Amino acid sequence: RPEEGDSLELHAWDTVRGSDFLSDQDVVSLFVGECPKEIIQLDHWGIPWSRGPDGRINQRPFGGHSFDRATFAEDKTGFFEMHTLYDTLQKYACVTRYDECYVTSILIDNGVFQGLTVWSLTSGDFFLIRGKALIIATGGACRMFGFTTYSLTATGDGTAMAYRAGIPLKDMEFVQFHPTGLIPSGILITEGARGEGGYLKNNKDERFMEQYAPSKMETAPRDIVSRSEMTEILEGRGFSRPDGLDYVHIDLRHLGADKINERLPLIREVAIKFAFIDPIDQLIPVRPAAHYFMGGIHTDIGGATPVEGVWAAGEAGGLSLHGANRLGSNSTAECLVWGRITGGKAAQYAMSQKSLAPTPQQKIEEQEKRLFEQIGHGNGSEDVFAIRAELQRTLDHNVAVYRNGPDMEEALKKVRELKKRLEHVKVADNSRIYNTNLLAIVEAINLIDLAETVVSGGLARTESRGAHSRRDFPKRDDEKWSKHTLAYYTPEGPRLDYSPVKITMWQPVERKY
C-alpha cells in the first residue's frame, strides 16, 4: 500500500535489518517484488483473506516490520494457504500423489539427479521413482529440540538426504525461537496475538519489552523478543515450573471478547483446549520455542542447488533470504514465491531433457538393503526413543536462545555419542508395513546428522548475530563473519566452508529497535 507509506524498498530494508545483515540482498529484492503477486494469486484461487471495511485484504503488524503489511486470514493464515493450494492441486489429473510414502534417498550420479528411492508404508513396497528434476520442499528440523512448535513429523528428512547426497547445507546454526510457545506443549501462539496488541508481562505484571525494544515493544524481531523473555526468566522475573519450563505471560484481555473472537479465534481455541485457559479473561503462559531454520539446502537465487536437476524451496531451502533472523510472515510468502520460481525452472529443465538418466539397479538394491537389513539391526542395547529424548534435552539446554562455547562443545560431544549409540538399536518388528519403529530410527539418524551441522556451525561462528547469540562472543563481527556457513557431509562430521554475503543496497549498521 504505497499510498499509505509502505514500499518495496521499505519491506526490503526491514528484511535485511531483521536478518542482522546476513541475508543476500539480491534475494531480498526479488522476494519483496514477487510476494504481492502471490497474495493476489491465492486470492484468485479462493483463500478467505480477512478484509477491512473497504473490502481490501486486511493487514496487521508483525515482528520486525515497520508497516502493517502482514496479510492474514483470521489467525489461521498458513492453514488456509495450505488448503487453498491443495484444493487447487485437485483440478489437475496429471499430478500423481504418493501418499503415505517415505523417500529414503536422493540418487545423484556425476552431479546429475537420477531419481528417488521410496518406501510405501501402506504396502511395504520399496521402489524407484526416476525423474529429470526434483524440488525439495520438506520443511525444517526443529524436532531435534524438545520444546518446539513443530509437528512430530518435522524431522528434516529432505534436508538430511540432500546433505548425505553431497549437497552442502547453508547457515544451519541460525535456528529461530518463536517468543510464544504455549506452556507446556509448545503449540504456537501466533505472532498475530502480539500484532493485534497483546502485551508480554513478567511476574511483576510489567510490560518488560519497554526495557529491550522501546520503539517496537512486542512487535520487535523474534530473536530480540525471545532473548528478552529469557533474560526476564533467567533473572528471576518469570514464573517457575517443576519441569523447568519457566515462562512469562502474554495478555490479550484488554483486546476484548469481540476482537479476540474475530481476529484470534484459533488462539482462543488452542488456549482453552491445551492449557485450559480462556484468553478473554486469563493470561496465557508462554516461553521461546524452536520454530524455524533460517538455513537449509544451499541454493542460488533461483532455488537451484549445485546438483543439476535439483532445486529447494521453502524452509528446506537455504536461499539466504532470512539471514540470521527471519521476520514474521516472510516464511509462507517465501514458500509461495519460490514454489512458483522453482516449479517453473524445474518444469523448463525437465522438458528440455530428452531422456531420463539411467539408474543402476545396484544403487536401488543398496538402499533397500540399508533400510531393511542394516538400520535397526544392532544388539538391542539402545532405545531409539531414549536417544531422541536425549538429543532434544541436549539441544534445549545447550544450543537454545543463549549459547556459549563450552555448552556447544558438550552438545557436539553428546550428538556424536548418540550417533554411535544408534548403531546398537534393534527393531524387533520385521514387517515392512507401517513399521513405525524403523521409521523412528531413520528420522533420528536425520535429526542427529542435522544437529551436528547446527552445533558445528555455531561453535565455529565466534560472534552473536540474529538468532545465534553467544554469551562468550556478545558482539556482531562483520569483519570476520559477514559470510555464510556451508556444511559438507563427511562420515566423520561436517566439513565447514564459507561464502560471502551479497550486499547490493545497504552496508551493515548497528541494529536497533
Residues with a known catalytic role: 178, 194
Residue whose cell numbers read 547446527: 454
Please provide the DSSP assignment of 436-447 as one string: HHHHHHHHHHHH
Q: Which residues pair with 468 in a beta bridge?
A: 465
**Burial 357-376, CB ≥16 within 10 A → b, else e:** bebeeebbeebbeebbeebb
Q: Hey, what's the cell of 47?
A: 483463500
Contact (CB, 8 A) for 308 and 194: no
- What CA–CA distance (Å, rounded) separates 421 from 401? 27
**Parallel/antiparallel/unpaired status of strands 169-170 and 483-488:** antiparallel
Contact (CB, 8 A) for 160 and 449: yes
Q: Which residues contact 321 (CB under 8 A, 6 or more apart)?
A: 15, 19, 23, 24, 27, 28, 31, 330, 334
Spell out the alpha helix ranges (H) of 294-329: none
Residue whose cell numbers read 524436532: 143
Of 119, 84, 73, nearest to 98 (Cα)?
Answer: 119
Q: Is the Cα torsion angle 465, 469, 472, 474 positive or negative in sign?
A: positive
- Residue 143: other Cβ atoms inside 10 A: 23
- What CA–CA distance (Å, rounded) separates 106 from 118? 9
Q: Is the Cα torsion angle 225, 231, 237, 243 positive or negative in sign?
A: positive
Q: Which residues contact 244 (CB under 8 A, 6 or more apart)?
A: none
- What CA–CA distance (Å, rounded) separates 452 from 418? 11
- Residue 89: other Cβ atoms inside 10 A: 10
Q: Does the N-terminal peptide bond of residue 184 adopt cis geometry, omega within 30 degrees of 0? A: yes
